[in-house]
Amino acid sequence: GGKALNIVPADCRFDFEVRALPSQDPAKVADELKAYAEQQVLPRMQAVSAQSAIRFTELSAYPGLVTDERSQAAELIAAFSGSREFGTVAFGTEGGLFDAVGIPTVVCGPGSMDQGHKPDEFVKVEQLVRCDAMLERMLASIRA
Residues 56 and 76 occupy one common structural domain: no
pLDDT tens per residue, range 67-94? 889 999 999 999 999 988 888 776 778 8
In a domain, 38, yes or no: yes
Residues 47 and 85 occupy one common structural domain: no
pLDDT at 76: 93
Q: Is 29 exposed, middle or buried (0-12, 13-18, 19+ CB in 10 A)?
A: middle
Residues 93 and 33 occupy one common structural domain: no
Residues 78 and 137 occupy one common structural domain: yes
Task: Give the predicted TM-score (pTM) of the model.
Answer: 0.63
Structurally, the chain folds into a number of domains equal to: 2
Residues 81 and 113 occupy one common structural domain: yes
Residues 76 and 100 occupy one common structural domain: yes
Mean pLDDT, range 88-102, rounded to an integer: 83
In a domain, 40, yes or no: yes
Residues 98 and 125 occupy one common structural domain: yes
Q: Is 64 exposed, middle or buried (0-12, 13-18, 19+ CB in 10 A)?
A: buried
In a domain, 65, yes or no: no
In a domain, 1, yes or no: no
Residues 55 and 78 occupy one common structural domain: no
CB 81 within 8 A of CB 133: no
Residues 18 and 56 occupy one common structural domain: yes
**Which domain covers residue 123, as residue numbers?**
72-143
In the DSSP assignment, the letter for residue 110 is S
Residues 34 and 76 occupy one common structural domain: no
Residues 131 and 104 occupy one common structural domain: yes
In a domain, 39, yes or no: yes
pLDDT tens per residue, range 25-70? 888 988 999 999 999 999 999 999 899 999 999 888 778 888 889 9
Residues 77 and 136 occupy one common structural domain: yes
